[in-house]
Amino acid sequence: MPQNKFVMITGSTSGIGFELAKLFAKDNYDVAMSGSSEKIYESAKEIEELGVEAYPFQADASTYEGVEAFWKFVEGKNRKLHAAVLNVGVSLGGAFMDNDLEEELKLIDINISGTVHTAKRVVNHMVPNGEGNILIVSSLSATLPTPYETVYGPSKAFGFMFAEALREELKDTGVNVTAMLPGATNTDFHHNAGMDSTYFGDDSIKNEKTEVAKQGYDALMNGLDHIICGDEETKQQAEENKRTPEPVKAANHAKKAKPQEQGD
Ligand SMILES: NC(=O)c1ccc[n+]([C@@H]2O[C@H](COP(=O)([O-])OP(=O)(O)OC[C@H]3O[C@@H](n4cnc5c(N)ncnc54)[C@H](OP(=O)(O)O)[C@@H]3O)[C@@H](O)[C@H]2O)c1
At 164 the pLDDT is 98
Name which of 204, 206, 222, 202 is nearest 214 in CA terms.
222
Kindly indicate the confidence band of residue 3, based on its pLDDT and cuts at 50, 70 and 90: confident
pLDDT (average), residues 6-35: 98
The response to whether residue 133 sits with its C-beta less than 6 Å from ligand 1 reads: no
Average pLDDT, the chain: 97
Question: How confident is the model over 83-117, as pLDDT tens digits?
Answer: 999 999 999 999 999 999 999 999 999 999 999 99
Q: Structural domain tally of the chain?
A: 1
CA-closest residue to ligand 1 atom 29: 36
Between the CA of 88 and the centroid of ligand 1 the distance, in Å, is 5
- Which atom of ligand 1 lies nearest, measured to the CA of 17? 16
pLDDT (average), residues 198-221: 97
At 262 the pLDDT is 46
CA-closest residue to ligand 1 atom 34: 35
Residue 264 predicted with pLDDT over 60: no
Kindly indicate the confidence band of residue 215, based on its pLDDT and cuts at 50, 70 and 90: very high
User: Residue 228: which CATH number?
Assistant: 3.40.50.720
Task: Write the burial class of residue 131 (CB in 10 Å: 0-12 exposed, 13-18 middle, 19+ buried).
Answer: middle
The range of the structural domain enclosing residue 248 comes to: 5-262
The response to whether residue 88 sits with its C-beta less than 6 Å from ligand 1 reads: yes
Q: How far is CA 77 from CA 9, 30, 55, 80, in A?
A: 14, 11, 9, 9
pLDDT (average), residues 29-41: 98
